[in-house]
């Protein structure tokens, strides 16, 4: 294939570096510096996709990120990415692209039949057709999606890596066109920290598409060099500002290695997600040309005028030899001249009745024919423009009349004026104002959001000639730096001049008439190409009352999807305004939403993916657990040993073995994850008295006590053992998951309610590595490795002793979560590994068994010990847990006290904790299973409770469960019915919650 449309010279492509790529299986050649779009155009490929709703053939419209049509499925396998815009894909060797939205092929498309029945697919058709029955939507949606072909997601893991980073600057400049470069240079001159972002691979913005490349490139180089002199300036190319949030927080996507092709980026991340905090922002985002809305304006070959200019000047591609420029303003005349200069046969159709003599002269010099006060009334050519018909416009622009001229052409370059890119300012919370002279909205500097200060400059501010853009940019850059406290050099800006024809007097013609009324006949007037929305759809929406701009958007889908209405927004508003007979500002604008251009989820996640997705917390003994074959359970962010399967064991048998070993010999559990808080100060006991329900005044030094914490609703929210270390010094433990919450709770009360109390809380969770030794042989084992007298009388239950264990300093707490004789050995974390190894060695002769959290759960359930968050759910009181024994009747006050006497906490038939013994002892009820008062074939059934904990207990020799049951404490001995999700029905007897050693002999042994 030869590059039939490539000019012999010109443009910024490197003709010495040819690149090979494929599109829909065909191989083509382009050059370094091309985009996929320019390379396809160079090869004469015009048909690039089919439209979303009607499956009409579509080609390129734009040359930048506003492109609505040319969505590509890029690459294959794990690297494949749908919905990439061909205009934003830099060409690299070996690139593989496929068209989307066509089935089974681009040339022959079954879905194209849709256009023959177009009258059946008006706006709102999704809503109307599939409103009822709602359940059928799922069925329809599959087929619609297949036919619509929004591309396919990769099915393999993403092999790329991504990077996210924060950044800070004084002045952030969005856009490195003439205004942006001038702003950055001015802001940097006084020493401000400046960041400049541009979505292109090189700075320059619109200048890159203009005809006097050499002068433009010199200006760009000059500006770059000026910026390089300042070390506090960062210029990021291939970087798009995607979102603008409160307090000048701007996100941006940098495509770091996309342009190298998949797998060629080395160690670099594929993309980088910037999270930028700027004191001041200069928005120099440029503007987007609007298409004219005329009959069948979606034929491949109908393009934006500036896109034609950009393809010629930046890429050295003439999109077609016969060009019709269709415009309502002066700016497109430059494109006509550029096309003629490069060999095109050009005709200009201007909707305005007269144009300036200087323009006419310039056209005459190039032999360009001009139709004044005329309009294109139809476009011929199904898969690409072959000719257009042109007729004279009536004075009011509402109709056409007279002779129709047929002009053969392959390209229509249309310009309906320019729309400043106000996306960023709108996202920041700023409001827009309508400017009649340019027929567009610009930021209203008097209605910006105070928390997100910014200044717009250049064509995004409605100034379209380059000299003004540079002046405005320089002024904005200086002002922004000044606001940050920097003095800048006088901001005159570069005096660079460019050959250009400014916008001139725009004569808005929002809807170009044809020989029959819009909406009748076969031709369509598209304003939103991506969503396939026509002027007739807006008329329909208006007829049906969807006149509010937000309703219009949702009813017709105009302005949605990946292009977010970049080319369509203003045309839609204007057409609606005309229908309603109101002004455009009266219709209003929708609020622009991030992202400005689509983002990959990979980039948003950045490095915080895979093993860094969640912070995995490890205990000092983690490696020992790994070495000893532990399976791990996630508890909060912690990795806790779940069970230690031996060869041939499944989870069930391992847990049964571990559970038995603890009651028969001795087991050890890593309990380091429990929250630990050091509490000191003369008012320490006052705090402890307030946060626990029981009495603490008389706790002896060296003694431990269990406590329950309530919130002010009277509901249990944590529990643990607290030990008095010294006169005014306590060591509190919390649940693993509740550690941070409890610490926050204590500090909240101390700092906000009782600041005069002298109490200091310090988290010491990780200071201590903790091994819990449980079982009848625990004392013998411990005595072998400690200098503490662990005899029954010297070291009673619920006390703490300090000494050495395994030769290292330790605090040993005689507390138990299994009901067995037990000790919790705390050593400084540095000795954690040493401790577990010493225990394992010393424990051999006692058959010491390491056990995990699952066996711990079984063991504690055998004793009826609750786990906060499993047996409680934030709606249960101590009385509901049958723990009234821990609620002081004598204390004056504690948190949650008053709520105990609320009508609701006092009412009868509250769910209460009970034991459940199934009729069939082999049945282990699923946790969450419902206890029902009546069984029927299908839900709903009246529920009177549910299972909270359920295990097979080897020590009891049958299954056991804990459950919350209405009025349960009074129902012990009753038989209740449980109905499972799978339809099984089980009977169970309500029992006490303690299944083993009800007298508590073993723990005190």
Tell me the per-residue interface mask from 185 to 204 with another protein, x by CB under 8 A, - otherwise. Answer: --------x-----------
For another protein, the closer of residues 312 and 746 by Cβ is 746
**Residue with Cβ nearer another protein (899 or 989):** 899
Q: How far is the CB of 399 from another protein (least distance, A)?
A: 47
CB-wise, 406 or 787, nearer to another protein?
Answer: 787
Q: CB of residue 662 vs another protein: minimum separation in angstroms?
A: 25
- Contact call for residues 837 and 844 (beta carbons, < 8 A): no
Cα-Cα-Cα-Cα dihedral sign, residues 300, 304, 308, 314: negative
When asked if residue 28 is in the footprint of another protein (CB under 8 A), the reply is: no
Nearer to another protein, 581 or 755 (CB): 755
Q: Does 267 bind another protein (CB under 8 A)?
A: yes
Q: Which contiguous run of DSSP H or E holds residue 441?
A: strand 440-443
**Closest to another protein by CB, 119 or 610:** 610
Quote the tokens at residue 684: 């320490």
Does 264 bind another protein (CB under 8 A)? Our answer is: no
Question: Which listed range, 22-30, 240-248, 528-536, 563-571, lies at the site for another protein (CB under 8 A)?
Answer: 240-248
Closest C-alpha to 314, from 33, 45, 564 = 33
Q: Which range of residues in 48-56, 85-93, 239-247, 400-408 is near another protein by CB under 8 A? A: 239-247
Question: Are the CB atoms for 964 and 948 separated by under 8 Å?
Answer: yes
Q: Which is nearer to another protein, 210 or 452 (CB)?
A: 452
Closest separation in Å from C-beta 121 to another protein: 41
Site string for another protein, 881-910 (x = CB under 8 A): ------------x---xxx-xxx-------
CA–CA dist 655, 953 (Å, integer): 10
| Residue span 547-586 as binding mask against another protein, x where in contact by CB under 8 A, dash where not | ----------------------------------------
The residue range among 73-81, 310-318, 330-338, 745-753 that interacts with another protein, by the rule CB under 8 A, is 745-753
**Closest CB to another protein among residues 41, 810:** 810
* Smallest distance from another protein to CB 686, Å: 14
Q: Does 37 bind another protein (CB under 8 A)?
A: no
Q: What are the C-alpha distances in Å from 10 to residues 1, 40, 206? A: 21, 17, 17
Residue number with CB closer to another protein (383 or 834)? 834
Copy the structure tokens of residue 287. 């503007």
Residue 109 or 160 having the CB closest to another protein = 160
Cβ atoms of residues 201 and 65 within 8 Å: no
> C-alpha distances in angstroms, 813 versus 803, 821, 883, 915?
11, 11, 23, 29
In the complex, least distance from residue 447 CB atom to another protein, rounded to whole angstroms: 10
- Report in angstroms the alpha-carbon separations of 825 from 43, 626, 671: 77, 21, 9
Which of residues 246 and 398 has its CB atom nearest to another protein in the complex? 246
* 748 sits in which H/E element: helix 739-752
Residue 422 main-chain phi, psi, to 5 deg: -95, 10
Q: Binding to another protein by residue 634, rule CB under 8 A?
A: no
Nearer to another protein, 511 or 842 (CB): 842
Shortest distance, CB of residue 617 to another protein, whole angstroms? 4
Helix/strand/coil (H/E/C) assignment for every residue in 286-321 = CEEECCCCCECCCCCCEEEHHHHHHHHHCCCECCCC
* 770 Rama class: left (phi>0) / alpha (psi -120 to 50) / beta: beta
Q: Which of residues 638-657 bind another protein (CB under 8 A)?
A: 638
Cα-based torsion angle of the residue sequence 978, 980, 983, 986 in order, rounded to the nearest 10 degrees: -30
Report the residue from 212, 237, 618, 695 that binds another protein according to the rule CB under 8 A: 618
Out of 619, 694, 877, 918, which residue is the one contacting another protein (CB under 8 A)?
619
The correct pick among 247, 358, 517, 936 for binding another protein (CB under 8 A) is 247
Backbone phi, psi, residue 73, to 5°: -90, 110
Residues 804-843 that bind another protein (CB under 8 A): 806-808, 828-834, 837-838
Site for another protein in 747-806 (CB under 8 A): 747-748, 751-753, 755, 758, 760, 762-768, 785, 806
615: contact with another protein by CB under 8 A: yes
The single residue among 164, 286, 309, 852 that binds another protein, judged by CB under 8 A, is 164
**Residue partners of 71: CB distance under 8 A and separation at least 6:** 49, 82, 83, 84, 85, 86, 100, 101, 151, 562
Binding segment for another protein (CB under 8 A), chosen from 32-40, 272-280, 787-795, 868-876, is 272-280
Of the residues 18, 130, 163, 797, which one makes contact with another protein according to CB under 8 A:
163
Buried b (16+ CB within 10 A) or exposed e, 74-111: bbeeebbbbebbbbbbbbbeebbbbbbbbbeebeebeb
Inter-CA distances, 738 with 183, 869, 876, 882, Å: 51, 9, 17, 22
> Do 413 and 547 touch, CB atoms closer than 8 A?
no
By CB under 8 A, the residues from 308 to 347 that bind another protein are none
Residue whose CB is less far from another protein, 115 or 826: 826
Chosen residue from 15, 360, 431, 713 binding another protein by CB under 8 A: 713
Are 317 and 13 contacting, i.e. CB atoms less than 8 angstroms apart?
A: no
Q: Which of 364, 398, 436, 616 binds another protein (CB under 8 A)?
A: 616
Selected from 607, 799, 943, 966, the binder of another protein by CB under 8 A is: 607
Q: Are 633 and 852 in contact (CB under 8 A)?
A: yes
Q: How far is residue 763 from each of residues 95, 222, 678, 743, 745, measured CA to CA in Å? A: 55, 57, 6, 7, 12
| 522 close to 515: Cβ distance less than 8 angstroms | no
Residue 10 backbone zone (phi > 0: left; psi -120 to 50: alpha; other: beta): left
CB of 636 or CB of 702, closer to another protein: 636
335's enclosing H/E stretch is helix 332-341
Of 103, 245, 706, 846, the one binding another protein by CB under 8 A = 245
Residue closer to another protein by CB (options 580, 762) is 762
Asked if residue 287 lies in contact with residue 179, where contact means CB atoms within 8 angstroms, the answer is no
Enclosing H/E stretch for 840: helix 832-843
Shortest spacing between CB 868 and another protein, in angstroms: 20
454 forms beta bridges with: 281
The answer to whether the CB of 716 falls within 8 A of the CB of 761 is no
Sites for another protein among residues 431-460 (CB under 8 A)? 449-451
State the nearest-atom distance from the C-beta of 172 to another protein, in Å. 14
Q: Which of residues 671-710 bind another protein (CB under 8 A)?
A: 678, 680-681
241-249, 331-339, 391-399, 994-1002 -> range binding another protein (CB under 8 A): 241-249
Backbone phi and psi for residue 24, each to the nearest 5 degrees, phi listed first = 50, 40
Contacts with another protein in 497-536 (CB under 8 A)? Answer: none
Is residue 38 close enough to count as binding another protein by CB under 8 A? no
Count of residues that bind another protein according to CB under 8 A: 77
Nearer to another protein, 230 or 524 (CB): 230
Whole-angstrom distance, CA of residue 719 vs CA of residue 709: 6
Smallest distance from another protein to CB 637, Å? 8
Out of 120, 132, 166, 885, name the contact with another protein by CB under 8 A: 166
Per residue in 700-730, is it b (16+ CB within 10 Å) or e — as a string?
A: eeeebbbbbbbeeebbbbbbbbbbbbeeeeb
Q: Which stretch binds another protein (CB under 8 A): 494-502, 573-581, 740-748, 816-824?
A: 740-748
Burial 851-887 (b: 16+ CB within 10 A, else e): bbbbbbbbbbbbbbbbbbeebbeeebbbbbbbbeebb
159 binds another protein per the rule CB under 8 A: no
């Amino acid at each position: 294939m030869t590059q039939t449309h490539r000019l012999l010279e010109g443009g910024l492509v490197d003709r010495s570096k040819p690149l090979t790529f494929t599109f829909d299986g065909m191989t083509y050649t382009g050059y370094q510096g091309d985009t996929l779009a320019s390379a396809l155009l160079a090869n004469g490929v015009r048909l690039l996709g089919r439209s979303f709703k009607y499956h009409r053939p579509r080609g390129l419209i734009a040359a930048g990120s506003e492109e609505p049509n040319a969505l590509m499925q890029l690459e294959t396998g794990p690297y494949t990415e749908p919905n990439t815009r061909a205009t934003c894909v830099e060409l690299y060797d070996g690139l593989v692209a496929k068209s989307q939205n066509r089935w089974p092929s681009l040339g022959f498309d079954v879905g194209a039949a849709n256009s023959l029945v177009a009258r059946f697919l008006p706006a709102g058709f999704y809503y109307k057709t599939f409103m009822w029955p709602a359940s059928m939507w799922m069925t329809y949606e599959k087929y619609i999606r297949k036919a619509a072909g929004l591309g396919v997601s990769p099915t393999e893991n993403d092999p790329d890596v991504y990077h996210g980073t924060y950044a800070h600057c004084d002045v952030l400049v969005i856009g490195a066109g003439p205004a942006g470069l001038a702003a950055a240079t001015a802001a940097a001159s006084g020493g401000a920290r400046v960041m400049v972002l541009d979505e292109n691979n090189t700075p320059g913005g619109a200048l890159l598409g203009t005809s006097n490349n050499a002068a433009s490139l010199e200006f760009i180089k000059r500006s770059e060099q000026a910026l390089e002199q300042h070390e506090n300036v960062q210029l990021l190319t291939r970087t798009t500002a995607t979102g603008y949030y409160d307090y000048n927080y701007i996100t941006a996507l940098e495509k770091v290695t996309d342009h190298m092709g998949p797998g060629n980026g080395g160690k670099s991340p594929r993309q980088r997600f910037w999270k930028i905090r700027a004191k001041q922002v200069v928005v120099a985002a440029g503007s987007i040309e609007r298409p004219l809305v005329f009959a069948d304006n979606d034929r491949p070959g109908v393009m934006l005028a500036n896109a034609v200019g950009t393809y010629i000047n930046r890429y050295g591609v003439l999109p077609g030899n016969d060009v019709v420029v269709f415009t309502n303003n002066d700016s497109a005349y430059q494109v006509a001249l550029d096309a003629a200069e490069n060999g095109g046969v050009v005709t200009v159709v201007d909707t305005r009745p007269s144009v300036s003599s200087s323009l006419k002269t310039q056209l005459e010099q190039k032999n360009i024919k001009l139709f004044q006060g005329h309009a294109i009334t139809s476009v011929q050519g199904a898969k690409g423009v072959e000719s257009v018909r042109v007729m004279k416009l009536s004075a009011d622009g509402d109709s056409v009349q007279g002779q129709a001229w047929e002009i053969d052409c392959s390209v229509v370059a249309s310009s309906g004026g320019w729309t400043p890119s106000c996306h960023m300012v709108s996202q920041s919370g700023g409001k827009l104002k309508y400017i009649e002279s340019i027929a567009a909205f610009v930021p209203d500097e008097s209605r910006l959001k105070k928390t997100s200060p910014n200044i717009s400059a250049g064509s995004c501010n409605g100034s379209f000639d380059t000299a003004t853009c540079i002046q405005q940019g320089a002024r904005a850059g200086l002002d922004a730096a000044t606001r940050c406290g920097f003095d800048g050099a006088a901001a005159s800006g570069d005096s660079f001049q460019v050959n250009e024809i400014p916008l001139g007097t725009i004569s808005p013609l929002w809807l170009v008439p044809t020989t029959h009324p819009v909406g009748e006949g076969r031709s369509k007037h598209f304003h939103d190409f991506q969503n396939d929305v026509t002027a007739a759809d807006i008329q329909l929406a208006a007829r049906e009352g969807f006149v509010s701009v937000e309703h219009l958007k949702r009813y017709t889908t105009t302005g949605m999807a990946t292009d977010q209405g970049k080319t369509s927004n203003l045309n839609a508003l204007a057409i609606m305004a005309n229908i309603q007979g109101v002004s455009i500002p009266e219709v209003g604008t929708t609020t622009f939403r991030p992202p400005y251009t689509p983002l990959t989820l990979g980039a948003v996640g950045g490095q915080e993916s895979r093993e860094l997705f969640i912070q995995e917390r490890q205990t000092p003994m983690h490696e020992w657990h790994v070495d000893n074959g532990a399976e791990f359970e996630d508890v909060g962010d912690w990795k806790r040993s779940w069970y230690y399967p031996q060869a041939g064991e499944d989870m069930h048998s391992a847990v049964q073995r571990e559970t038995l070993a603890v009651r028969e010999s001795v087991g050890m559990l890593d309990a380091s994850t429990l929250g630990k808080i050091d509490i000191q100060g003369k008012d320490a006991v006052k705090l402890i008295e307030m946060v626990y329900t029981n009495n603490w005044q008389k706790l002896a030094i060296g003694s431990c006590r269990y406590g329950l914490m309530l919130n002010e609703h009277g509901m249990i929210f944590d529990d643990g053992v607290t030990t008095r270390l010294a006169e005014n010094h306590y060591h509190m433990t919390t649940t693993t998951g509740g550690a941070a919450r409890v610490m926050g709770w204590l500090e909240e009360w101390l700092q906000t309610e009782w600041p005069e109390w002298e109490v200091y809380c310090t988290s010491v969770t990780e200071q201590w590595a903790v091994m819990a030794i449980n079982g009848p042989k625990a004392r013998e084992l411990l005595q072998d490795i400690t200098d503490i007298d662990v005899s029954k009388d010297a070291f009673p239950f619920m006390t703490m002793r300090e000494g050495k264990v395994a030769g290292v300093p330790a605090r040993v707490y005689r507390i138990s979560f299994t009901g067995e004789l037990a000790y919790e050995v705390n050593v400084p974390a540095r000795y954690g590994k040493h401790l577990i190894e010493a225990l394992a060695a010393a424990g051999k002769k006692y058959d010491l068994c390491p056990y995990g959290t699952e066996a711990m759960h079984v063991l504690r359930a055998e004793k009826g010990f609750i786990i906060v968050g499993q047996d409680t759910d934030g709606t249960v009181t101590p009385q509901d847990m049958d723990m009234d024994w821990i609620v002081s009747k004598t204390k004056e006050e504690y948190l949650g006290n008053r709520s105990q006497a609320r009508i609701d906490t006092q009412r009868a038939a509250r769910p209460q904790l009970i034991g459940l013994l199934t009729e069939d002892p082999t049945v282990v009820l699923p946790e969450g299973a419902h206890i029902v008062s009546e069984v029927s074939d299908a839900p709903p059934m009246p529920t009177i409770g549910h299972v909270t904990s359920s295990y097979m207990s080897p020590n009891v020799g049958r299954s056991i469960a804990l459950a919350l049951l209405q009025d349960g404490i009074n129902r012990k001995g009753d038989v209740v019915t449980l109905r499972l999700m799978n339809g099984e029905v089980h009977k169970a007897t309500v029992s006490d919650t303690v299944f083993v050693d009800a007298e508590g002999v073993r723990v005190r042994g």
